[in-house]
C-alpha cells in the first residue's frame, strides 16, 4: 500500500475505536494529552503518528498496539480497504471530473459506515452485471465525454497548430501518403504492410505498433479511410506527447485508465484532422437551412473528406453541441450478421445524459422499427458498400428524434455488417437550427425501446410479446386495488 492509504486506514480505525467508546475528539484529546487538531488530522488520513504517540493511544484506548498498526480492517470497513488496495482511485484521473483524491479521503474518514454501504452496493451491482475493470474504465470515459458535451477545444486547437506546422491544407481531404510521409520523416516510423497478414490469429487487427523499433504493422486489406485514420492517430500520439498508449487497433487490453483516455484523445485528434471543423460547419449550415432534406447532399458531405461513416458521425457528436447548440443527442453502433435475427449494440454515447434508445443488459429484443436496424437488414440483402436512411422516431410521451443512419460491411468479418446512427432530440433548439424538420417526405415511425417493454399494438415487426410491460401494468392494477382497500378500511 502507498503511504497515503496507510494513513487513511490508521485514521479510519482510530475513529471507529473512538466512536465505539463514545468519545468525542475533545474527550480523546483530554484522555491522551494529544491535541484535538492533531487527532483530527490523524483521523482524516493526513498524518501518521509516531511510535510513542501510538503507544499512548493504545494504552488509553485499551487496544493492542498491533491492532492499531495492522492494515487489516474490521468487517464493516473491509470494502474500503479493498477499494484502496485495488488502486482504482489511483488509476482514474479524478481531476478530470473536478474531484480531488483528498476530498474522497475526507468523505471516507467522516462517514465510513455510509461509504462502506455505498462501496458494498457498487461491488454487488458490478458482480450482478459482470461489470469488470474494462467496463468501469469505458463507463468513466463516456461520463467524461458527456460532461464535456464531447467537445475538447484544446484538441481542436492542437489540430490547427499541427496543420500549420506541417503545411497540411485543411480545405482539402488529407491523404494517407501525406500522413505516412510525416510519420516516416518526422517521427522515424517504419511502415510494414506485409508481416501482419502472416499471422491468421491477427486477422481482426488493423494495426500493431512496436515501440522499440517504431514499426507500424498494417493489415494488407485496409482501405484508404482506415489507413488515414490509423496514421492520424499515430501522429496524435507523437504530436501530443502521449507515452502511455495502446499498441493495437482495435485495442486488445489496457493496463490503466490513462491509456484509455489517451486513446480517446488520439482518436479525437484524428477525427478533427480528417474532418476539419470550419469546412464541416459551413456544409452543415447549408444543409440545415434547406426546407427539404437532401439525402444526396448529406451523403456527399460524408464522402467528401472520408469514406468512413463512423468517423463522420463521431465528428458530428463533437460539432453539433458546440457550434449548433444541439446538445441532446445520441450515437449508436450496431453489428449484425447476415442471416441472423440478432442485433448487438456495442458502442453508444448519450449527450448530455441517457437518451432513448440505449443498450440493455437483459437480452431483450431491440425495436425492429429503428432505422439503425433497418439499414442493417437492407445492406445484408444487397451488394452495396453503403446504405443510408433517415426517419423521425416518435417515442411514448411526445418524445421524438431525428435519426440519420448508415450501414456498411465489416471489412474484417465475412457476412458481418455495422450501422452507425446519430439521433437528435426534436426540441425548440433543433427546430431553430434545422429547417427541413417539417419536410413531409421524412418518414415518421412510432417506436419503442424493446419488444418486451413496448405498448405498440399490432406491430408486425414484434419478435416477442410485451411481457415486461404486461407485468408492470398488472402490478400497477394490483397496487391501485390495494390502495383503494387501504382507504376503505382506514
Is residue 53 within a helix (H) or strand (E), and if so which, with residue range? helix 51-61
Q: Answer yes or no: are the C-beta atoms of 422 and 350 closer than 8 Å.
A: no
What is d(CA 154, CA 270) in angstroms, rounded to the nearest whole number?
A: 14
pTM of the model: 0.78
C-alpha cell at 380: 445484408
CA atoms within 13 A on the CB side of 467: 5
Q: Answer yes or no: are the C-beta atoms of 392 and 444 closer than 8 Å.
A: yes
CA atoms within 13 A on the CB side of 407: 28
Q: Give the pLDDT of residue 229.
A: 95
Q: Give the pLDDT of residue 255.
A: 81
Q: Give the pLDDT of residue 138.
A: 81
* DSSP 8-state secondary structure symbol assigned to residue 310: H
Q: Give the pLDDT of residue 489.
A: 87
User: Peptide bond before 250: cis, by omega within 30 degrees of 0?
Assistant: yes
C-alpha cell at 182: 510525416
Q: Answer yes or no: are the C-beta atoms of 417 and 428 closer than 8 Å.
A: no
Determine how many CB atoms are found less than 10 A away from the CB of residue 111: 12
Q: Give the pLDDT of residue 479.
A: 92
Phi first, then psi, for residue 56 (nearest 5°) are: -60, -50
Q: Give the pLDDT of residue 6.
A: 85
Q: Give the pLDDT of residue 404.
A: 96
- Residues in Cβ contact with 143 at an 8 Å cutoff, skipping those fewer than 6 apart: 97
DSSP E strands: which ranges in 161-290? 190-192, 207-210, 215-218, 248-249
What is d(CA 28, CA 35) in angstroms, rounded to the nearest whole number?
A: 9
Determine how many CB atoms are found less than 10 A away from the CB of residue 41: 16
What is d(CA 177, CA 296) in angstroms, rounded to the nearest whole number?
A: 29
Q: Are strands 215-218 and 329-337 parallel, antiparallel or unpaired?
A: unpaired
Q: Give the pLDDT of residue 144.
A: 86
What is the block-wise mean pLDDT of the chain (490 residues), using blocks of 10 residues?
80 87 93 94 89 94 89 68 64 67 62 61 58 73 87 96 95 94 96 88 88 94 91 97 92 85 95 95 95 94 89 96 94 90 88 70 79 92 90 89 94 87 94 94 89 84 87 91 88
Is residue 10 within a helix (H) or strand (E), and if so which, with residue range? helix 3-20
Q: Answer yes or no: are the C-beta atoms of 267 and 233 closer than 8 Å.
A: yes
- Cα dihedral sign, 24-25-29-30: negative
Q: Angle 311-317-319 (CA atoms, 0-180°, nearest 5)?
A: 100
C-alpha cell at 176: 494517407
What is d(CA 263, CA 453) in angstroms, rounded to the nearest whole number?
A: 37
Amino acid at each position: 500500500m502507498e503511504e497515503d492509504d496507510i494513513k487513511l486506514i490508521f485514521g479510519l480505525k482510530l475513529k471507529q475505536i473512538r466512536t465505539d467508546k463514545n468519545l468525542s475528539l475533545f474527550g480523546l484529546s483530554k484522555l491522551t494529552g494529544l491535541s484535538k487538531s492533531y487527532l483530527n488530522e490523524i483521523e482524516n488520513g493526513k498524518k501518521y503518528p509516531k511510535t510513542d504517540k501510538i503507544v499512548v493511544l493504545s494504552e488509553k484506548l485499551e487496544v493492542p498496539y498491533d491492532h492499531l498498526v495492522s492494515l487489516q480492517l474490521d468487517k464493516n470497513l473491509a470494502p474500503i480497504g479493498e477499494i484502496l488496495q485495488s488502486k482504482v482511485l489511483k488509476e482514474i484521473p479524478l481531476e478530470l471530473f473536478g474531484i480531488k483524491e483528498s476530498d474522497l479521503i475526507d468523505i471516507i474518514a467522516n462517514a465510513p459506515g455510509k461509504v462502506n454501504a455505498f462501496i458494498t452496493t457498487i461491488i454487488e451491482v458490478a458482480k450482478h452485471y459482470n461489470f469488470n475493470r474494462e467496463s468501469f474504465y469505458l463507463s468513466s470515459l463516456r461520463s467524461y465525454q458527456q460532461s464535456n458535451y464531447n467537445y475538447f477545444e484544446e484538441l481542436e486547437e492542437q489540430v490547427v497548430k499541427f496543420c500549420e506546422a506541417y503545411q497540411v491544407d485543411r480545405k482539402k481531404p488529407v491523404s494517407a501518403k501525406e500522413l505516412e510521409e510525416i510519420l516516416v520523416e518526422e517521427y522515424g516510423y517504419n511502415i510494414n504492410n506485409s508481416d501482419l497478414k502472416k499471422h491468421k490469429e491477427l486477422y481482426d487487427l488493423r494495426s500493431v505498433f512496436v515501440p522499440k523499433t517504431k514499426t507500424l504493422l498494417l493489415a494488407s486489406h485496409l482501405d484508404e479511410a482506415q489507413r488515414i485514420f490509423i496514421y492520424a492517430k499515430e501522429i496524435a500520439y507523437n504530436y501530443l506527447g502521449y507515452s502511455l498508449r495502446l499498441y493495437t487497433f482495435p485495442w486488445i487490453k489496457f493496463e490503466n485508465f490513462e491509456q484509455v483516455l489517451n486513446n480517446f484523445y488520439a482518436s479525437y485528434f484524428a477525427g478533427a484532422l480528417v474532418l476539419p471543423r470550419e469546412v464541416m460547419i459551413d456544409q452543415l449550415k447549408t444543409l440545415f437551412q434547406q426546407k427539404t432534406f437532401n439525402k444526396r447532399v448529406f451523403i456527399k458531405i460524408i464522402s467528401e473528406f472520408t469514406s468512413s461513416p463512423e468517423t463522420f458521425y463521431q465528428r458530428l457528436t463533437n460539432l453539433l453541441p458546440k457550434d449548433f447548440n444541439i446538445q441532446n443527442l445520441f450515437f449508436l453502433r450496431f453489428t449484425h450478421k447476415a442471416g441472423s435475427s440478432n442485433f448487438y449494440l456495442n458502442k453508444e454515447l448519450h449527450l448530455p445524459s441517457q437518451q432513448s434508445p440505449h443498450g440493455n443488459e437483459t437480452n431483450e429484443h431491440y425495436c425492429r422499427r429503428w432505422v439503425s436496424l433497418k439499414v442493417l437488414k437492407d445492406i445484408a440483402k444487397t451488394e452495396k458498400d453503403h446504405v443510408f436512411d433517415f426517419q423521425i422516431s416518435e417515442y411514448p410521451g411526445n418524445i421524438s428524434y431525428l435519426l440519420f443512419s448508415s450501414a456498411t460491411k465489416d471489412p474484417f468479418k465475412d457476412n458481418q455488417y455495422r450501422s452507425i446512427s446519430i439521433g437528435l432530440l426534436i426540441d425548440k433548439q433543433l427546430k431553430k437550427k434545422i429547417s427541413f424538420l417539417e419536410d413531409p417526405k421524412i418518414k415518421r415511425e412510432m417506436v419503442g425501446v424493446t419488444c418486451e417493454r413496448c405498448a405498440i399494438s399490432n406491430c408486425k415487426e414484434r419478435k416477442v410479446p410485451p411481457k415486461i410491460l404486461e407485468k408492470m401494468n398488472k402490478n400497477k392494477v394490483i397496487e391501485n386495488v390495494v390502495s383503494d382497500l387501504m382507504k376503505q378500511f382506514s
